Amino acid sequence: MSARHLAEAVRSGARSARSVLDEHLDAIAAREPEIHAFNVVLADEARVAADEVDRRVAAGEDPGPLAGVPVAVKDNMCTRGIPTTCSSRILEGWIPPYDATVVERLAAAGAVMVGKTNLDEFAMGSSTENSAFGATRNPLDTTKVPGGSSGGSAAAVAAGFVPLSLGSDTGGSIRQPAALCGVVGVKPTYGAVSRYGLVAFASSLDQIGPFARTVSDAALLLEVVNGHDPLDSTSIPETPADLTSVLDRGVEGMRIGIIEELSGDVLEGIAGDVRARLGEAAAALEAAGATVETTSVPSTVYGLSAYYVIAPAEASSNLARYDGVRFGLRVDAPTSGDMHTATRTVGFGDEVKRRIMLGTYALSAGYYDAYYGKSQKVRTLIVDDFARAYGRYDLLLSPTSPTTAFDLGEKTADPMTMYLTDVCTIPSNLAGHPSMSVPFGVGDDGMPVGVQVLAPAMGEPAMFRAAAVLEAAAPPGAAS
């Protein structure tokens, strides 16, 4: 049953929030040991929350649009009184004194949080193998990765542990795992969803967004968490558009461009089965009344290179606060300098250290202009090229991931190969635009393929309209 229907059943009294929760906790108990989607399951806290929803329904109150719906939250979003680890030893023992804005909005909507999900440490990774607490496995084939960095959130939805979850997306960390797990994943416009309480990786790129099994449920969750927040200085002040009311409007008359640089004709590494599904998705949109043609967004080919300077540079700055004094882990040593070094050596994993070093180098005297400054100029080129494309097209289309889910351990020895898995998703982060992954059939290995729908800033309504068309036309997905 969809999240929307579950909430309707609970609000009407046809179902109790407690019974809904118990079903999902049973599912977690059955498969969580093999999948490891969660860093912590909050069964007792969830039962208290579910009982409060049932009390409110019995009293004639409306608990909200997500009444009694179990949700999971990526473990880089602050939760008052509940550990927030970012899947890193450096935050061992840290318990936030406040909730992230999105967590508050979930509770206000009547959602029941059942746990915090696993991720690549500090959201740095594309496979959820970089967690200090062990890898998450893809529920559709546990020999394969779920994608990353929000792999736990994607796996939790794909496994049926929860109907909805939240992840964060800095370079594809919602959309790529959504594609690999066969669920819907949305990166909203930068600033559409508050980042207050999201532990920062790269502040000009990070964005919170939903995972769901259906486009309609993703729209519902995004409507709950989006909107202006005065606690986030980058929050967009405009009232967000209604999304659920536009899902049945179709794409008649829309102009949609397939980005040739990301479709395989220019970019190497896009698998043949992924390209085939993209072509079928384009045909489905054309059959629904859209004009679909190939177009060029030239500078997207430089997105990966620019991202892996800008994001590590911002990470180097943001992660400087983890010094053994203010948060989490502290490794004692004779001097404060030695203590800082020992704490960060033990507390951070290899990938986080790699990116901190990359970023520090890019920001260092003598190299700033050559690397960071030049990457920001490339970012401007990407923004300008997208602006020209959106002058001709309402939406753009590309694969979400170059391939279907790969084997656990397949890419961990070669960071560059791992980074290439985000080549299609990174440009939207650099531009600050919304994009989403919609499941569209399977590859030759029977694993899901995701098609990415891209839109200009604040273009979520048109994006969701196209996503709904793709969902209705999609060939059968992977068996769970």
What is the band of 255 on the pLDDT scale with cuts at 50, 70, 90?
A: very high
How far apart are the two ends of the chain, measured CA to CA in Å? 15
| pLDDT above 60: residue 480 | no
| pLDDT above 60: residue 200 | yes
pLDDT at 268: 81
Name the residues annotated as catalytic: 74, 149, 173
Taking residues 437-460, what's their average pLDDT?
A: 98
The DSSP result for 413-424, as a single string, is T-HHHHHGGGTT
Taking residues 394-409, what's their average pLDDT?
A: 98
Taking residues 363-390, what's their average pLDDT?
A: 96
What is the band of 148 on the pLDDT scale with cuts at 50, 70, 90?
A: very high
Taking residues 288-303, what's their average pLDDT?
A: 97
CB contact at 8 A, 18 and 48: no
pLDDT in tens, 93-112: 899 999 999 999 999 999 99
pLDDT at 245: 96
Burial 30-53 (b: 16+ CB within 10 A, else e): ebbeebbbbbbbbeebbbebbebb
pLDDT at 134: 98
Pairing of strands 255-259, 395-399: parallel
Structure tokens at 442: 């399977």
| pLDDT above 90: residue 256 | yes
| pLDDT above 90: residue 1 | no
Q: How far is 368 from 379, CA to CA, in rounded Å? A: 15
pTM over 0.75: yes
| pLDDT above 90: residue 184 | yes
Q: How far is 250 from 473, CA to CA, in rounded Å? A: 12
- Rounded to a whole number of angstroms, the CA Rg of the chain reads 21
pLDDT at 81: 97
Q: How far is 188 from 198, CA to CA, in rounded Å? A: 15
Alpha helical stretches, state H, 202-271 = 215-225
pLDDT at 77: 98
pLDDT at 293: 97
The DSSP result for 334-392, as a single string, is SSHHHHHHHHHHHHS-HHHHHHHHHHHHHHSTTTTIIIIIHHHHHHHHHHHHHHHHHHH
What is the band of 267 on the pLDDT scale with cuts at 50, 70, 90?
A: confident
pLDDT in tens, 163-181: 999 999 999 999 999 999 9
Taking residues 434-460, what's their average pLDDT?
A: 98
| pLDDT above 80: residue 264 | no
Q: How far is 283 from 299, CA to CA, in rounded Å? A: 26
Contacts of 337 (CB under 8 A, 6+ apart): none
Torsion of CA 258, 264, 269, 274, to 10 degrees: 60
Question: Where does residue 354 fall: left (phi above 0), alpha (psi -120 to 50 degrees), or beta otherwise?
Answer: alpha
Chain length of the chain: 480
Closest CA to 38 of 208, 157, 210: 157
Q: How far is 32 from 143, CA to CA, in rounded Å? A: 15
pLDDT at 266: 74
% pLDDT > 90, the chain: 95
| pLDDT above 90: residue 326 | no
Flag the least confident range among 104-108, 109-113, 221-225, 413-417: 413-417
Q: Map out the domains of the chain as residue ranges.
A: 3-229
| pLDDT above 70: residue 308 | yes
pLDDT at 327: 85
Average pLDDT, the chain: 96
The 10 Å Cβ neighbour count of residue 278 is 24
pLDDT at 75: 98
Beta-ladder partners of 208: 168
CB contact at 8 A, 394 and 238: no
Quote the Cα angle for 318-225-379, to 5°.
45
Taking residues 74-81, what's their average pLDDT?
A: 98
Torsion of CA 137, 140, 145, 147, to 10 degrees: -110
| pLDDT above 80: residue 265 | no
Query: Would you give the DSSP letter of residue 404?
Result: S
pLDDT at 341: 95
Q: Which CATH superfamily is domain 3-229 in?
A: Amidase signature (AS) domain (3.90.1300.10)
pLDDT at 92: 87
